Every structure is written in C-alpha cells, then in structure tokens.
Amino acid sequence: MTEAEKFVPIRKLAESGFLTESRLRKMHKQGKLPGIWCGKKFLVNVPLLNEELDRESKKQLSGGGCNE
C-alpha cells in the first residue's frame, strides 16, 4: 500500500466494497472511524481501520458481542 492509498475518502472506500458508505458515515459520526480532515474531506486511515475491525472480530469470537 502506497502512502497515497493509506488515506482514502469515505466514498472511495465504500466504492471499493469495503463497507457501505452509510455504515462508514455512521462510524464517523460515532467517532469510530480513524482518519484525518483534509480541507472539507475526511480521509480514512485504512490500515488503522483494518486493525480496529480485526480487534472487534476477535472480541466477538471470544464472546464479547457487538458494540454498536
């Protein structure tokens, strides 16, 4: 992953099929989407998001449940 691909706008990330745009925006509103503001656009830190989703899925496997 190049440095330019590390930070991606929400819409572009959704177009890749990662998660739906509405789900990503909901996570952003909840403060659960890692990233930075660049002008008026929020850019998602994709590697950090992957790490957080991995942690959540491991938690669910061990019986932790879903935190929505």
Distance CA 19, CA 35 (A): 16
Q: For the whole model, what pTM was predicted?
A: 0.80
Question: What pLDDT is stored for residue 39 in this prediction?
Answer: 96
The 3-state DSSP composition of the chain as helix, strand, coil percent (nearest 5) reads 50, 20, 30
- Identify whether the C-beta of residue 27 lies closer than 8 Å to the C-beta of residue 33: yes
Task: Report d(CA 53, CA 47) in Å as an integer.
Answer: 10
- What is residue 63's predicted lDDT score, i.e. its pLDDT? 76
- Collapsing DSSP states into helix, strand and coil, what is residue 24? helix
pLDDT tens by residue, 10-34? 999 999 998 999 999 999 999 999 9
What residue ranges do the domains of the chain occupy? 7-62
φ and ψ at 17, to 5 degrees? 90, 10
pLDDT in tens, 31-51: 999 999 999 999 999 999 999
